[in-house]
Amino acid sequence: MSARPVETPSHPTPLDRGTLDALAHGTHRDPFGVLGRRDDGDGPYIRAVLPGAQGVEAVDARTGDSIGRLMEIENTGVFEGWVKGADPYRLKIAWPGTVQETEDPYSFGLLLGELDLHLLGESRHFELASALGANVMEFDGVAGVRFAVWAPNARRVAVVGDFNSWDKRRHPMRLRHPSGVWELFVPRIGPGERYKFAILGPDGAELPDKADPVAKSAESAPGTASVVAAPTAYEWTDDAWMAARSAKHLPDAPLSFYEVHLGSWMKDGRTVDWNFAIDKLVPYAAQMGFTHIELLPVAEHPFGGSWGYQPLGLFAPTGRYGKPEDFARFVNAAHAAGVGVVVDWVPAHFPTDPHGLYRFDGTPLYEHADPREGFHQDWNTAIYNFGRREVQNFLIASGLHWLEQFHVDGLRVDAVASMLYRDYSRKEGEWVPNHLGGRENLEAIGFLQHFNAVVRERVPGAMTIAEESTAWPGVTRSTTEGGLGFDYKWNMGWMHDTLNYMEQNPIYRSYNHDGITFGLVYAFSEKFVLPLSHDEVVHGKGSLIGKMPGDAWQKFANLRALYGLMWSHPGKKLLFMGGEIAQWSEWNHDAQIDWPALDDPNHAGVQRLIRDLNRIYVSEPSLYRRDCEEAGFRWVIGDDRANSVFAFRRHGADGDPPILVVANMTPVPRHGYRIGVPVAGRWSEIINTDSGLYGGSNVGNGGGLETTPVESHGEAQSLELSLPPLGVVALRAG
């Protein structure tokens, strides 16, 4: 039958009142069942929801000729009308003050392929951001953006943004059963568009508009919209780095992390962004000899005062510092300078901001329903439901996104202890035991093991590092051996014990001697990083130098001795920004490091010491090659409580000259202090924290000593040393 004349004012088969009202109010559950080009037996017609339009005409997509006019039904914003032919068409929409010509989103077929849906259904889609979220693409030869979001319990999901005046009626999405994923292709839009998802919960209640959980870009706070990102087109030039980095991350390699909060590192009168970091931070870290920059979380987060530890955009570098491609340029520049990049990653919990993941589709989708499992009382955040496969897939895909798309060299996983224990920071009756009746979070354990196993398989050479503050066994043991599978673990026990010892007046250190020695009891039970992190210089804890006892001279000497001990102790190194210049003030995330302090020679001396410690650390294999083996460490003097003196040796592989480290933790110089050594001949003094170069008193051993054939400490040869006050010296055989 031929089509009706286009001039006819009559409509195709009338919609029932319920359907019309649902379309008019944006609550229809199956928009593809009623919108787009249709045929009720009398001929083709088109139906569209365009509230606010003053007129709508359908035109042939090739010729631009009119094929029919759509008329509005009862001022509802729903337009329909008979059309000619079955060729591709566009809608010519007269808006107040402008005319828009575009393809009809409801003229396109299914978007996500069977493989995507299969992997999503099995929760094994580790390239999640390529399937869900906003992806710029061509569909049937038309450029636009495919939107997709997981919201299995929603009654309706619509995409809203600047492109449709944030009108939830304009772009309702199609549900793909049984995956729970909603999809829609919006033609003729592209990168830079802001958007969110407008969701009706299962009870029909309208939720606050939700940001995209897998958005690859987001607008800067205080804005909360997601942003359509440009397709990944960054041209990496770090092939040599990526090919060689596995060896740089092994337990027998030197690792020295410079922990940085970019927004408060340096202001310098410029906008703090990734370009600034390329110009300033990368060369500074390289000059200081750090092997890696470790960034506090750079995933998008709504509240700057959380420092990134309450993120909502786990796939999006924060818009505070630029676009995703700018972050990629930063990583590439760091690699070109010989510096790796580690980012802090937070899969433990998330904030409950209404635009975020919390009750995303009107149900506890990402979090536990029971607050005894799903709410973190300390941080007022929601806890991920690690027992849900889709949540595990979401988190693992996030971690892989940073490693694969941005060439990040490692993830430092935050708050692991809070994940491992169901009773973490909870009183009796405030937590739910596991199915065996215990306190272990078996689902979180399984997630961490799965995450680390996938990273090993897909991104060989990348590191995962656990911030885990308890004695949980096997954090760095392989998953095949029943461990959690991390490469390294922060040694929080070493940090607490060492700082507690250093804070003591030297008069009382003899009573706290175990604060230094106890850490060696368990030093090789895991592969450790020694952290002096941001956590130790906030919330009223003061700065590192502020913790040191004594007058100003003694404070600087104590801090230099702390660093001397740390860099010679088994374990990789991490220092938070500002510690390297001994700034007096506590870290303030709204300010910057106290760079003017470097005008004082004492502060400049500490900075010079850190640079030299890093240089010596990476050039002396005995200081790192057996970091994780008992054979790499030997106590020489661990019981001189009366003098607060410690002496130990570090050993590398066969042929590496041993290094003797001696610490005098009192302000009294000690001359003629004899220590046995295993190698006769000259021992060169490679570090002395009391050197005048660092602001010290220059008590030392003149650059080195010859052994004498006097038995001491079970050795036939010995050295007669001068130990500087509150100082650490290290001597190498040869």
**40-44, 439-443, 470-474, range with the lowest pLDDT:** 40-44
Q: Is the pLDDT at 8 greater than 50, yes or no?
A: no
Q: Is the pLDDT at 85 greater than 50, yes or no?
A: yes
Q: Does residue 184 form part of some domain?
A: yes
Is residue 89 a contact partner of residue 83, using CB atoms and an 8 Å limit?
Answer: yes
Do residue 654 and residue 677 come from a single domain? yes
Q: Is the pLDDT at 7 greater than 60, yes or no?
A: no
Q: How many CA atoms lie within 13 A of 558 on its CB side?
A: 25
705 is in which domain, residue-wise? Answer: 631-733
Tell me the two tokens of residue 94.
Answer: 């007269």
Q: Is the pLDDT at 163 greater than 50, yes or no?
A: yes
Task: Report d(CA 662, CA 660) in Å as an integer.
Answer: 7
Tell me the two tokens of residue 550.
Answer: 């004594």
Q: What percent of the chain has pLDDT over 70?
A: 98
As a whole number, mean pLDDT of residues 381-405 equals 97
Q: What is residue 3's predicted lDDT score, i.e. its pLDDT?
A: 42
Q: What is residue 5's predicted lDDT score, i.e. its pLDDT?
A: 42
How does DSSP classify residue 113?
A: -
Q: Answer with the one of 203, 227, 251 that is the final residue of a domain.
A: 227
Do residue 95 and residue 70 come from a single domain? yes
Q: Does residue 444 form part of some domain?
A: no
**Model confidence over 352-365: pLDDT tens digits?**
999 999 999 999 99
Mean pLDDT rounded to a whole number for the chain: 96
Q: Does residue 131 form part of some domain?
A: yes
Q: What is residue 234's predicted lDDT score, i.e. its pLDDT?
A: 84
Do residue 719 and residue 702 come from a single domain? yes
Do residue 97 and residue 150 come from a single domain? no
- Domain CATH code at residue 682: 2.60.40.1180
Do residue 653 and residue 718 come from a single domain? yes
Do residue 88 and residue 160 come from a single domain? no
Q: Is the pLDDT at 6 greater than 90, yes or no?
A: no
Q: Does residue 405 form part of some domain?
A: no
366-371 long-range Cβ contacts below 8 angstroms, 24+ apart = 366/213, 366/391, 366/394, 370/432
As a whole number, mean pLDDT of residues 248-252 equals 97
Do residue 21 and residue 123 come from a single domain? no
Q: Does residue 90 form part of some domain?
A: yes
Catalytic residue among 367, 467, 685, 690: 467
Q: What is residue 13's predicted lDDT score, i.e. its pLDDT?
A: 74
Q: Does residue 140 form part of some domain?
A: yes
- Domain CATH code at residue 147: 2.60.40.10
Q: Is the pLDDT at 9 greater than 60, yes or no?
A: no
Q: What is residue 209's predicted lDDT score, i.e. its pLDDT?
A: 98
Q: Answer with the one of 210, 227, 244 that is the final residue of a domain.
A: 227
**9-18, 153-162, 414-423, 647-656, range with the lowest pLDDT:** 9-18
Task: Report d(CA 218, CA 214) in Å as an integer.
Answer: 10
DSSP letters spanning 308-369: TSS-SEEEEE-GGG--HHHHHHHHHHHHHTT-EEEEEE--SEEE--TTSSTTTTSS-SSB-S
Q: Is the pLDDT at 285 greater than 90, yes or no?
A: yes
Q: How far is CA 22 from the centre of its chain?
A: 42
Q: What is residue 220's predicted lDDT score, i.e. its pLDDT?
A: 87
Do residue 132 and residue 60 come from a single domain? no
**95-104, 229-238, 297-306, range with the lowest pLDDT:** 229-238
Beta strands in 390-527 (DSSP E): 410-413, 463-466, 488-490
Q: Does residue 403 form part of some domain?
A: no
Q: Does residue 179 form part of some domain?
A: yes
**91-105, 176-190, 219-233, range with the lowest pLDDT:** 219-233
Catalytic residue at 443? no
Catalytic residue among 259, 344, 367, 414: 414
**655 phi-psi bin (left φ>0, alpha ψ -120 to 50, beta other):** left
Catalytic residue at 586? no
Do residue 729 and residue 660 come from a single domain? yes
Task: Report d(CA 462, CA 407) in Å as an integer.
Answer: 9
- Report the domain count for the chain: 3
Assign 185 to helix, strand or coil: strand
Which residues are bridge partners to 341 per DSSP? 293
As a whole number, mean pLDDT of residues 88-96 equals 97
Q: What is residue 10's predicted lDDT score, i.e. its pLDDT?
A: 59
As a whole number, mean pLDDT of residues 161-175 equals 97
Do residue 97 and residue 178 come from a single domain? no
As a whole number, mean pLDDT of residues 489-516 equals 97
Q: What is residue 41's predicted lDDT score, i.e. its pLDDT?
A: 81
Q: Answer with the one of 66, 85, 107 that is the final residue of a domain.
A: 107
Task: Report d(CA 42, CA 3) in Å as an integer.
Answer: 7
pTM for the model: 0.95
**Alpha-carbon separation of residue 181 from 157, 227, 316, 606 (angstroms):** 10, 20, 20, 56
